Amino acid sequence: MKYTDLWHRLGHQTVSVRPPTSSIIVPGLGDRSAQSFLEEVHEAQCRRPSRPTVYHIFSNAGFIFLGTMLRLLALQDESIFRQIARHPERLRMLEAKKPVVLLSVLDPTQGIILDSAPARLTPDIASRGLTAALLGQAAAGIESRHPYMTRAAKATLQPLLGFPPISTRIHEVWQAWQVVAPVKPQLYLSSEADALIPPAEIELFMKQQASRGLRITSRHFADSAHCEHYRRYPAEYCNELESFLSKLT
C-alpha cells in the first residue's frame, strides 16, 4: 500500500499485486497469478492507451513473478520459447498454455525498477525469505531469532528447489529476463545491509542486462535493510524514482 500511495503522490496510476509466496514452489499457482495480473495490466493499458508502463518489483518474489509473466508471454512464439526452455520437449506446451494476453502487452513498457533484487534462489536465501514472510518480520537476523523455523524451512526447501519441475521453472524464469524482458532502461535499488540479496549478485545481473543494450541506473544505499530503502530514505528514494522517470522516452 505504501508504494501505491507513493506512485499516486507522484501523479501516476497503478495496478498492483502481492505475489503469493507459494507461487515460487508451486509453478501452477504462479502461472495463474501471473495470467490474472497480465489481464489487469492489459485492461489498464486499454483504458489509458497513451500512458507508458513502468514495472516496480520487490525482492526475489517480484523478480520471479515478473519473470513468470515474461515466460507465459513467450509461449506465444516458438522461436522465443526455444531460447527459454531448458528441455526441447517442453515446446509441446505452446498450444496448451498460451496466455490470453498478447506479447504486445510489453510494447508500452518504458522502464523496470528492481528494489532489492535479484539473486539466485539458494536454500539459504529461500529459507530466510520464507521464514521472514511467514512471520511478517524483517529478514535481518531471522536465523538467530527463529533458528529452528529457519532450519526447518531450509530442510524443506533444499530438495524442493532441486526437484526438476521447480528447478526447470526457475531456470526458465531467469532466461525469460534475458530473452523476453523489454530492452528498456532499468533502475536498481540495493544495499550493503541487505540480509537476503547479496549486492554482488545484483551487480552481476546488472552487467548481464546491460549486455542486452539497455541503460542501467543504480543506487546503492549504505545501511537500509531488505526492501526498506524507501522507509529509511524516503526523500532519496523518491528522487531516484523521479530522476529515472524523467529520462524515459
Structural domains of the chain in order of their starting residue, each with its CATH number: 2-246 (3.40.50.1820)
Compute the distance between CA of residue 214 and CA of residue 28 in angstroms, rounded to an integer: 31
Q: What is the pLDDT of residue 139?
A: 84
* Predicted structure pTM score: 0.92
Run means of pLDDT, 10 residues per run, the chain, 249 residues: 92 92 79 93 93 96 95 88 78 60 93 97 88 85 90 90 89 96 98 93 97 97 94 97 93
Q: What is the pLDDT of residue 192?
A: 92
Nearest residue to 66 (alpha-carbon basis) of 217, 174, 205, 206: 174
Q: What is the pLDDT of residue 79?
A: 87
* Angle in degrees, CA 88, 64, 187, rounded to 5: 120
Number of Cβ within 10 Å of residue 203's Cβ equals: 14
Contacts of 160 (CB under 8 A, 6+ apart): 25, 166
Contacts of 204 (CB under 8 A, 6+ apart): none
Q: Are the C-beta atoms of 148 and 62 separated by less than 8 Å? A: no
Q: What is the pLDDT of residue 209?
A: 98
* H helix runs in the chain, sequence order: 2-9, 27-47, 59-74, 78-84, 93-96, 123-135, 142-145, 147-162, 164-179, 199-210, 229-232, 234-246
The rounded Cα 233 to chain-centroid distance in angstroms is 22
Q: Are the C-beta atoms of 81 and 192 separated by less than 8 Å? A: no
Nearest residue to 115 (alpha-carbon basis) of 23, 219, 249, 13: 219
What is residue 234's three-state secondary structure? helix
What is residue 191's three-state secondary structure? strand
Compute the distance between CA of residue 202 and CA of residue 185 in angstroms, rounded to an integer: 16
Q: What is the pLDDT of residue 82?
A: 87
Number of Cβ within 10 Å of residue 152's Cβ equals: 13
Contacts of 89 (CB under 8 A, 6+ apart): none
Cis peptide leading into residue 199 (ω within 30°): no
Grid coordinates standing for 204? Answer: 552481476
